[in-house]
């Protein structure tokens, strides 16, 4: 099944010059970038993305406030990634949300290293470089927050037949 998902390169990934590396991780595996923008994220957008009722209920108000503070008015790269089973595949490429638990070979495992305890002690967000939608419902909701439908582009990659099995 062809899916679409949202990926954000968070401010720590932008500041460290990892935008191209992160995008290439998806493209090298046959996924398409069908929407891409770099923005300074306003608080209203971040609060829509990280819904208080959802995050606070699951992880607590403390975590929600750190997420909002860490992303508001910061440079973020937002992209819509499309491909076969894109949602779980993108999450696998990103690695565990807590960087210290992410295996080598994943974005977080290769480029981030601190954990929840350190972030809590310093009262900072976990610098885990990327956000990836957690499921189909979240992906649909999040894509609409960050992109208008006419900002998403349909195109064929040269290797698409190989990835999708159309050359057999």
Active-site residue, 114 included: no
Active-site residue, from 49, 113, 114, 131: 131
Is the Cβ–Cβ distance between 132 and 150 less than 8 Å?
no
Where exactly are the structural domains of the chain?
2-164
State the alpha helices, DSSP H only, in 60-124. 61-71, 86-94, 107-111, 116-122
Look at the block and give the residue holding tokens 């290293």: 113
What proportion of the chain, given as a percentage, has pLDDT over 70?
93
Higher pLDDT, 67 or 54: 67
Q: Which of 127, 141, 95, 115 is nearest to 11 (CA)?
A: 127
pLDDT of residue 58: 66
Superfamily of domain 2-164: Nucleoside diphosphate kinase-like domain (3.30.70.141)
């Amino acid at each position: 099944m062809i899916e679409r998902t949202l990926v954000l390169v968070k401010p720590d990934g932008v500041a460290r010059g990892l935008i191209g590396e992160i995008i290439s991780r998806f493209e090298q595996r046959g996924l398409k970038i069908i929407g891409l923008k770099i923005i300074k994220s306003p608080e209203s957008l971040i609060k829509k993305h990280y819904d208080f009722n959802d995050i606070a209920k699951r992880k607590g108000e403390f975590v929600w406030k750190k997420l909002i503070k860490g992303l508001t008015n910061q440079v973020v790269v937002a992209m819509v990634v499309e491909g076969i089973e894109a949602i779980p595949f993108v999450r696998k490429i990103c690695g565990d949300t807590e960087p210290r638990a992410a295996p080598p070979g994943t974005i977080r495992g290769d480029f981030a290293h601190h954990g929840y305890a350190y972030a809590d002690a310093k009262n900072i967000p976990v610098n885990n470089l990327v956000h990836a939608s957690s499921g189909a419902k979240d992906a649909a909701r999040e894509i609409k927050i960050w992109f208008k439908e006419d900002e998403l582009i349909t195109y064929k990659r040269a290797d698409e037949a190989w990835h999708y099995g159309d050359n057999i």
